[in-house]
Structure 1
Amino acid sequence: MDERHNGGEPSPDSERVGSRLEERGRRGKRRRKFFNKKWLLLVVTTTLLLAVAGCSAVMISAKSMPLEKLEEIQFASTIYDVNGNLVTKLGSTNREYVKMNRIKSRELIEKTFIAVEDKRFYEHNGVDYRGIARSVYHNILEGRRAEGASTITMQVARNVVLENRTKTYTRKLQEVAVAWNLERKYGKKEILEAYLNIIYFGNDVQGIQMASKIYFDKDLTEEELEPQEAALLASLPKAPSTYNPYHNPEEAKQRRNLVLGLMAEQGVITEAEKEKYQKTDLGVDRQYLTKHLKDDDYQAYKHYVMMEASQRFGIPEEELATGGYKIRTHLLPRAQKAMVKAFHDDALFENNEHLDGGATVVNPKTGGIAAIAGGREYQGTGYILRSAEEMKQPGSSIKPVTVFAPAVEEKNYTEYTQVPDPPDFRIKSWKPENFQNRSFGELPMKEVVAKSLNVATAWLLKNEVGLDTAVRYAEQAGLDLHAKDRSSYAALALGGLTRGVNTVDMAQAYTPFIHNGKMRKAHAIESISISDQEWESEGDYAEERQVFSPKTAYYMTRMLHYNVEQGTGTSAQLPDGRDVAGKTGTTQESKTAWFVGYTNEYVMSAMVYNESEGRVELSGGAYPAKIFRRVMAEVVKGTPVSRFQNPGVKPPEPPFQLKPVNLKGSYESGDQAIQLSWNDYSDRVRYQVERSEDGSDWEAIAETSNGTYQDRNIVVPPPQTGDEQLDEIFGGARQYAYRVVAIDTETDQRADPSNVVTVRIHPPEEGSPPEEGDEEGDPGGGEQEGDQTGEEEGDPGDDQGDLPGDDQGDSPGDQDGGDEEGNEEGDQGENPEAPGDQGEGTPIIPPPSDEE
């Protein structure tokens, strides 16, 4: 019996079996390790062989352009306006070709660019196989993107020679094939010259000659570059937008210093020189942009197109500028020209050099950006695009989006709804203040909008709308709120946003008000195409979102139109008299002012801000509203004058107003009764008839629901006897005074008493028929506030600004308000049934008095 089964030592056969299993396991491990290396080698080899084979196959088919014609070649992408007309180009408009043998710093520039872009440039035949292998290794095994394997020759092939720029595998193979051809046909110097003249350096500039001018104000044929300057230029082609020294100076300096390190590694400069040059400033100045770039009304619009193409379609700035793309946009040339002209007019800014701003015009039906301003000193992509890149607090211009429209949508508010403006309103420790430094009690919502009352707006947000609802509508309208703003009453009521907004954001947010509550994301590009590829609006840009109901949009338009007609936005009225609606906004301490308004055709937002530390009294009703007027007048010129139209919703109904009636009375001898009548103006009103015989002790004698009453409970004097003494004792005339009080049956609220009517009944002479009584009107017992038609609209003052008041605690919000001289209670209209001269049988009604 095997000892193994008896608890002894294992048998030799068992040992051999175990040894074979262990050996097989070791072989398996070795084989797996060996397979990994072999597999990698196989993949790389196969890839290269396929590339070579592919290149050979496509070499003949690759259509190319000769380098000799490089000076004539146009690489620009073209921009078309909203009507399909070619209006401007990108890239080639700012390019100057320069021969290498004319460059003063030729050797420095050559060595610097080779050190950064292609250090084996003089060793390969157009394709860097080691670079390709490194790229494959990092992509496959490490799952990360390595540095590009494109050589300078391949970049020339891609950007200059190949007519087909579609991103496909075939095109990649063509790049390799054409690179080989270039190396066979041209020398290294010619290829490098082509590269330096076509590469994109940012700020809508191609070629090293123009780049040297806009960054250092140096003509390469006349002046030499310093090593740190050459390093900055060589650092740009990798990512011109990211390393733009005018936009991102810190990133640009870091990249430049990295290039200086590469220059030291490859012996272009010494280590000591590297350390010295790394401490220097960038040496750029925006004046060089102004000096050397061509003046172009479309610069700001092109800048925005480049930003949007990168964000929406993933096309980098440098590729868009030089890629030969066909870009269809929503640009309206007359609007863009008017925008540039307005921002160059110092008079609109009262010649204050510290004021700057931005503006955007949007078509509300398409979301298309028709025009955009760069700023007063804007000269191209090296400058900040004020309208899109400058984020400012919107002040009270945010109120329609976050408070007013949500109150209409969610709580059925209308322009007539009474809104409290309490004198001592607080939300925890925050106490909002009105610009007028006073409380207005209770007033219609349209007056809250027109006077831009901060307290009433905060009351609405706290008691009717709520933070969550305000946030929801703000985000539906496209406003990007910081987390802090979501729980801040000051931010959502008065516009003190943490991150701020730009003019594109605000123009977009107002588009639902004139487009039946619907909104499309604001965008400049309708489509981009190249060769057989085309990208169109999709996702958020194609989707039309219902933000508010058509009723809410119409009701808000009525209130915002009233604001332009009689509120803080009167300066935005257009010369041709067409309807305009809009809202002003001014931030705390008057640092930034806004006006966002619209006609039936376009929405425009404009902001002006103070860049200095000194105080400038900015208001949305002044600078921005005037810019709106100037630009929009040109935008709509030649189009039919239009009015805002009801989209088919029930108009807002004026609220019921309880008011005194106009009383008349007379004695009817045939009925021996006094007949009273008055204007019956509502089914919800009942009328209390009061009588007095001495004009002071009033007694209620009846209630009725209509506008007439006959008083038979009177004493009619007997006929006169002719005896003067007896007639004086028993037959004198009787007198009755009447007034009527209107009472609201729903609230039991009582109006002021009507005018007093006094009726005298004279005794008839003996033997003669009875006479009609005389009616005499006396002043009533109550003041008659408001007119008799029920319309109590206050007139705003002449100077309805949107100026800030005192600081509002921790509120960074808006200080909007109307003019303190505006009528508070409403002008008193004329009595529609005003009496004539005082006389017998005619009631006298005192004329209404004006109240301030």
Structure 2
Amino acid sequence: MDKVKIHQILNSVWLWMKHYKWLTITMTAMFLLAWLGYLFIIFGGRFVFDEKAVILPTASSVVAEDGTVLGKLYTENRDYVTLDQIPDHVEEAFIAMEDKRFYEHAGISFPAVARAVYRDIIAMSKVEGGGSTITQQLAKNLFLVNDKTWMRKTKEVMASVYLERNYTKSQILELYLNEIYLAHGIYGIGTAADYYFGKNIEELSVEEGALLAALVKAPNTYTPHHDLEKAKNRRNLVLQQMANNDNISTEDMLDMQTTSIEVQAQQEEREPWLDDYFAYVLAETEEVYDLSREALKRGGYTIEVNMDPTIQKIAYEQMQKSDFFHGSNDAVDGSFILMEQTTGNLQALIAGRDFQLNDINHVITKKQPGSVIKPLAVYGPAMQLGNYLPYDLIPDQDINYDGYRVGNADDNYEEEVTLYQAVVESKNAPAVWILDQIGIEYSKSILEKMKINISDSGLAMALGGLETGLDPIQITEGYRTFIHHGEWIEARSIDAILDRDQEKVQPKERETKSVFNSQTSWNMLRMLEAVVEEGTGEAGGLRKSLSR
């Protein structure tokens, strides 16, 4: 083409543009606006995307060895499951019902983009279009649930494009199936599988997966706990869609549509005998594992505990019996602790007769220990010195210690008794005399080895007259030294904590101390057995082993 022809063509175009000037300007403006809108949607998603929102809050569970769930903590009741765990037919049910072209599109369709731009930018309308893809539903639920602005639909499209550009289809589907709300405070299909059917996600049948997919559009409307007929009709529609997508045969669809819906009944109240142990576990997670309640509510931790459910339940039931509480009023209360002596693990904890979460927890409440402190603060330390043996004679007299006097419970004195007899009969005067001989500071140094730190400096300490007292856990840890060769170990309710990736969370190092030698602990153990068999503890005697 020569220069003359080119010049003629350009001149013709120029003349046309001059003749249709306003049409040309309008078309150019529309083209630029469309192009800018397209770029805005494609690349603006990063400003809508929130990385923190993609990390779904997952419930933490406290679980005993036999699978008993003591409780859960969560902001959203969600048990996260991976796509590998989810059966193919469950995935297919959701895709068939919600977005059959999920694996073909780029998160949105161009008509949807055009509608969004028109409504938001031009018409400034808040009307929502139907037919959202799975990616769009996920984007809306993750990033825009509280967004009521006129740009919400456009933001949804922008975020969807961003997700598709930065996440695989499998990652998007996994997030979606774990994020969706399925009625009754349930989030995600992992939690829903357990709630509705009492099953792990891997065990769901085609019909059960179809029912969960049926809930997405209106969970509170289609839940079988509210309207069984609506739920069945909606489930059958999902099965029809699966057949249309060749996920199941027509024959199988017809057979499945005739089956009734069977869901497990829901217990309205939790088991009260679990609360006591659960409360202690929550405190231990913070102290030993440095995990706050807020972290547990979002982190998806599995807390494996040392509780024996059978013993815990029996202990709770026994604590309800008024025969064991001969108090002057109905407010009399108590606590119960069972420690496995070899490991120091706590197998049962009762924090009160009618304990509920956030009530006074008697397991960790410091109170005056009374005569329970004598073996720990007086007789154990005395024998540890090597100057006293069980059958040594010690004074049993009314002595004035610079103005401090103490009497025996029966107000009788025998002048001299053996140390063994003083323990068995829980005599006060000999205990105070021993403490005066061995020294208060020495006694406190022994107690400190057992994490019992007291500020008291008077002889009343021998009888448990303390300013702040001791809690039952401290006493249990202390008494464990006598059955375990004088070794003190920190009590633990938690066996292990696993994070959402099933990796162990490292606790603080568990403390142990050698407090008494083997001879002292053996002597003290034999005397304590005699207390129960023939002494002041006879009323609470057991025919079985005193340790566990």
For the aligned pair, the TM-score class normalised by the smaller chain equals 0.5 to 0.7
Where does residue 76 of structure 1 map in the other structure? 59
Alignment counterpart, residue 344 of structure 1, candidates 314, 317, 320:
320
1:397 aligned to 2:381? no
Q: CA deviation at 1:63?
A: 7.4
Distance change in 2, residues 1:466/1:92 (3 Å): closer
Identify the residue that residue 378 of structure 1 maps to in structure 2: 355
1:533 corresponds to: 503
1:331 aligns to 2:307 (yes or no):
yes
1:421 maps onto 2:396 in alignment: yes
1:64 Cα offset (Å): 7.1
Aligned to 1:498: 467
Cα 1:578–1:91 shift into 2, 3 Å: closer
Q: Secondary structure at the match of 2:359?
A: coil
Q: In the aligned structure 1, how far is the partner of 2:142 from the partner of 2:301? A: 17
* 2:69 maps to 1:88: yes
What amino acid maps onto 1:561 in structure 2?
E
User: 2-side partners of 1:505 and 1:544: how far apart?
Assistant: 14
* 1:443 aligned partner, one-letter code: V
| Structure 1 runs, 4 residues or longer, greater than 3 Å off | 58-65, 92-97, 191-194, 196-199
Alignment check: 8 A CA contact 2:363 2:471 kept: yes
Structure 1 partner of 2:216 = none
Give the drift of 1:326. Answer: 1.3
Contact 2:62/2:304 (8 A) holds in 1: yes
TM-score normalized by the length of structure 2: 0.55
Q: Are the equivalent residues in 2 in contact too, given 1:349–1:355 (CA < 8 A)?
A: yes
The whole-number CA distance in structure 2 between the counterparts of 1:436 and 1:297 is 39
Work out the CA distance in 1 between the residues paired with 2:358 and 2:547: 35
Higher helix share: 2
Q: Distance in 2 between matches of 1:462 and 1:526?
A: 42
- How many Å separate the matches in 2 of 1:499 and 1:96? 40
8 Å CA contact retained: 1:90, 1:322: no
Equivalent of residue 448 in structure 2, options 475, 479, 492: 475
CA offset digits 1:164-201 (Å, max 9, x no partner): xxxxxxxxxxxxx99x869xx9xxxxx9999x9689xx
Q: How does 1:768-787 map to 2 (within 5 A)?
A: none
Shift of 1:302: 0.9
Aligned twin of 2:257: none
Q: Deviations over 1:603-646 (max 9, x none)?
A: xxxxxxxxxxxxxxxxxxxxxxxxxxxxxxxxxxxxxxxxxxxx
Contact 2:74–2:298 (CA under 8 A) maintained in structure 1: no
> 1: distance between equivalents of 2:419 and 2:51?
75
- Paired AA for residue 68 in structure 2: V
**Within the alignment, does 1:445 sit opposite 2:419 as a pair?**
yes
Pairs within 5 Å for 1:362-761: 362-379=339-356, 381-388=357-364, 390-423=365-398, 425-463=399-437, 465-481=438-454, 483=455, 485=456, 487-491=457-461, 493-530=462-499, 531-539=501-509, 541=510, 543-574=511-542, 577-579=543-545, 599-601=546-548
SS in structure 1 of the partner of residue 273 of structure 2: coil
Please say if residues 451 and 567 of structure 1, whose CA atoms lie closer than 8 Å, have aligned partners that are also in contact: yes
Verify the 8 A CA contact 2:488 2:512 in the aligned structure 1.
yes
Aligned length, in residue pairs? 337
Identity %, equivalent residues: 26
- For structure 1, the residue ranges without an aligned partner over 5 or more in a row are 1-51, 66-73, 98-152, 161-176, 186-190, 200-220, 222-290, 580-598, 602-852
Q: 1:500 to 1:157 in 2, by over 3 A?
A: farther
Looking at structure 2, the residues matched to 569 and 547 of structure 1 have their Cα atoms a distance apart, in angstroms, of 25
Instruction: Provide the C-alpha distance between the structure 2 equivalents of 1:157 and 1:553, rounded to a whole number of angstroms.
Output: 61
Name the counterpart of 2:38: none
CA distance in 1, matches of 2:268, 2:367: 31
Greater share of residues in strand: 1
The 3-state SS of whatever aligns with 1:533 is coil
Match of residue 356 from structure 1: 333
Distance 1:406 1:502 in 2: 20
Distance 2:504 2:348 in 1: 24
SS in 2 for 1:469: helix
Going from structure 1 to structure 2, the CA distance change for 1:439 and 1:62 (only over 3 Å counts) comes to closer
For the structure 1 residues 440 and 413, does the alpha-carbon distance in structure 2 shift closer, same or farther, using more than 3 Å as the test? Answer: same
1:303 maps to 2:273: no
Q: 2:295 aligns with which of 315, 319, 322?
A: 319
Q: For 1:326 and 1:96, how far apart are their aligned partners in 2? A: 14
Whether contact under 8 Å (1:363, 1:370) holds in the other structure is yes
Q: Tell me, which stretches of 5 or more residues in structure 2 are unaligned?
A: 1-42, 79-137, 146-158, 165-171, 173-178, 188-219, 221-266
Say which SS state the counterpart of residue 363 (structure 2) adopts.
helix
What SS is found at the alignment partner of 2:335? strand
Paired residues for 1:31-430 under 5 Å: 75-81=58-64, 84-91=65-72, 294-350=270-326, 352-379=329-356, 381-388=357-364, 390-423=365-398, 425-430=399-404
The equivalent residue for 2:37 is none
Q: CA RMSD in A?
A: 4.1
Any idea what SS the aligned residue of 1:315 has?
Answer: coil
C-alpha separation between the residues in 1 aligned to 2:52 and 2:318? 52
Cα distance 1:61–1:555, how it changes in 2: closer, same or farther (>3 A)? Answer: closer
Q: Could you tell me the TM-score, scaled by structure 1's length?
A: 0.36
* Post-superposition CA distance 1:290-321 (Å, at most 9, x none): x9852332111111111111112221123324
